[in-house]
A and B are shown apart, each in its own frame.
Chain A
Amino acid sequence: MFSKCSRQFTVQFSNQIKRLQSTLVIAEHNNESLTPITQNALAAAKKLGGDITVLVAGTKCGPAVEKLAKANGLKRVLVAENDAFKGFTAESLTTLVLATQKQFNFTHIVAGATAFGKALLPRVAAKLDSSPVTDVIGIKSADTFVRSIYAGNAIQTLVAKDPVKVLSVRGTSFEADNLEGGSAASEPAPAGSYATDLTSFVGQELSKSDRPELTSANVVVSGGRGLKSGDNFKLLYDLADKLNAAVGASRAAVDAGYVPNDMQVGQTGKIVAPDLYIAVGISGAIQHLAGMKDSKTIVAINKDPEAPIFQVSDYGLVADLFKAVPELTGKL
């Protein structure tokens, strides 16, 4: 009987905690569209329980706000449209997040673990004197998180003790929220002077591609040093077009200048977990595996039967890629 009582008490208590909990999700967008990882971050926030507020900041917030308004279960969408956020610099955004935090007292602040989220969140966390948790792959409770360390070769479960938890989440570990069925009200974020003279945005050079975006593609075709030149990547583009796939690369291929570095998959590049990953001419170094070994099905095409990639691949083909890849493209 006692145990029944205490369980009831625990349930009530944890419900109370949940009611007190509130999460701020920092939306990522480019002033024209919402970045898909925001949907994964939202799903992670829902796992934490409690209220959810989304913050959209930029020079033009309309498109992102419109999409987010359709998400269900949101308490509010805060909008901060201001020239100060040109280039989404961490310095200007941190001031905004702190002002928002001061007004609403969130228990959790969440963003996707992208270049944007990774640059911003630790700066926010330090200002709150909170130790952030990077690239979370699992949420066990409101204070217990799972992340990978040592290039994905160990999985760490930790309890974050700081009162405000600041988390960046790995997009591929949380199913994207479908942004349907809701009608969240949007309201202005706390007003303030967010312009900073510390940093200014000069410009960007983005790689243009009609193919799906690497981190959210269902199929990824990646090439390594075995491709021997940038021109030979055309073999992979042809195969990718047949499969509606994104194209990735190993560090070796990027360092050799075959492809730009935003295509790098691995510990220090992008982390992908598509349904199908086809590794072509990639040996499978620890650092590369860190970025793709959660893919559902892995295919490796390599002429070296001893290549470590065959230890993680579901289907291996020991063959010359210059023959096998065109043949595969032709037969699909």
Chain B
Amino acid sequence: MARVLVGVKRVIDYAVKIRVKPDKKGVVTDGVKHSMNPFDEIAVEEAVRMKEKKLVSEIIAVSCGPVQSQEVIRTALAMGVDKGIHVEVSGPEYETLQPIHVSKILAKIAQNEKVDLVIVGKQAIDDDSNQTAQMTAAVLDWPQATFASKIEKGDKELTVTREVDGGLETIKCKIPAVISADLRLNEPRYATLPNIMKAKKKPITKVTPKDLGVDISPRIEILSVEDPPVRQAGVILPDVDALVTKLKEGGHVP
């Protein structure tokens, strides 16, 4: 039976209206509600469902980041993951930690733990990169099944439906493989209180990128982070006729 590695990232909660720091070096994260990246919840859910179908024997969750990243590992454990690995990266190193670093870390752990599948979310909603799955697959020289909305696991291969621009496409890829989860792959479960309690007893191992032999020196220099341009306040029109007039004035309709 297969062993699965899931990557989970702690990000600012999707519902929070973010604020740019006055020094324009980043966004305010202190005292802001964080949670598991929504796409990673979907990745965890898929792994847990595979285990429930007895296609998978063990699930390992990995998170790279400061000590608070253990909270999202705990959440994954409460959803049904068996054990966690926290790769500690904090301070300025975390500010410039990028998918290229994370993918090398995931690849190393995938090899160490002898996993057959790596499942991550298709993108993190903070940096919006959409790179980690593809890069992890490249480092491992494994096939990639990105933007998955349906996964059927066979013995030696996966049949994956992918969400592409014009609709859907289906591919088959050999196992071991790396998958990135799209929104419609599944509906993640809520962790129940008993499972949250049980998760406290599950093990989380702590390692550093150095232990794994991964260099995380910065590949980018962030020059600035700024607010996007603000749109001019618009007007509320009284009726459809007024809207038609405005559309004509704007040259949108003849």
Give the distance to chain A from B97, nearest Cβ to Cβ, in Å: 11
Chain A, range 154-189, C-beta contacts under 8 Å to B = 154-162
Chain B, range 133-151, C-beta contacts under 8 Å to A = 134-139, 142-147, 149
A interface majority secondary structure: mixed
Q: Measured between alpha carbons, how far is A137 from B240 in the docked complex, in Å? A: 35
- Minimal Cβ-Cβ distance residue in B for A262: B167
Q: Is A283 an interface residue when CB atoms closer than 8 A count as contact?
A: no
* B-contact bits for A249-288, CB 8 A (1 contact / 0 none): 0010011000011100001101000011000000000110
Q: Is B211 an interface residue when CB atoms closer than 8 A count as contact?
A: no
The listed residue (A200, A267, A315) touching B128 by CB distance below 8 A is: A267
Q: Measured between alpha carbons, how far is A276 from B220 in the docked complex, in Å? A: 36
- Minimal Cβ-Cβ distance residue in A for B228: A155
Whether B131 contacts A90 by the Cβ 8 Å rule is: no
Whether B250 contacts A297 by the Cβ 8 Å rule is: yes
Q: Measured between alpha carbons, how far is A157 from B220 in the docked complex, in Å? A: 10
When distances are taken between beta carbons in the complex, the residues of chain A under 8 Å from B233 are: 311
Interface residues of A, CB < 8 Å — how many? Answer: 90
Whether B99 contacts A154 by the Cβ 8 Å rule is: no
- Minimal Cβ-Cβ distance residue in A for B169: A204
Give the distance to chain A from B116, nearest Cβ to Cβ, in Å: 14
Whether A123 contacts B134 by the Cβ 8 Å rule is: yes
Q: Measured between alpha carbons, how far is A317 from B242 in the docked complex, in Å? A: 9
Give the distance to chain B from A155, nearest Cβ to Cβ, in Å: 5
Q: Measured between alpha carbons, how far is A261 from B233 in the docked complex, in Å? A: 31
Q: Top 5 closest A-B pairs, CB basis?
A: A126-B138, A122-B134, A131-B219, A198-B143, A126-B135
A-B contact sample (18 more), CB < 8 A, given A91-B144, A324-B240: A115-B147, A122-B134, A126-B103, A127-B138, A132-B131, A154-B228, A158-B222, A200-B171, A201-B171, A255-B183, A262-B167, A262-B168, A297-B250, A298-B231, A298-B234, A312-B234, A315-B235, A319-B239
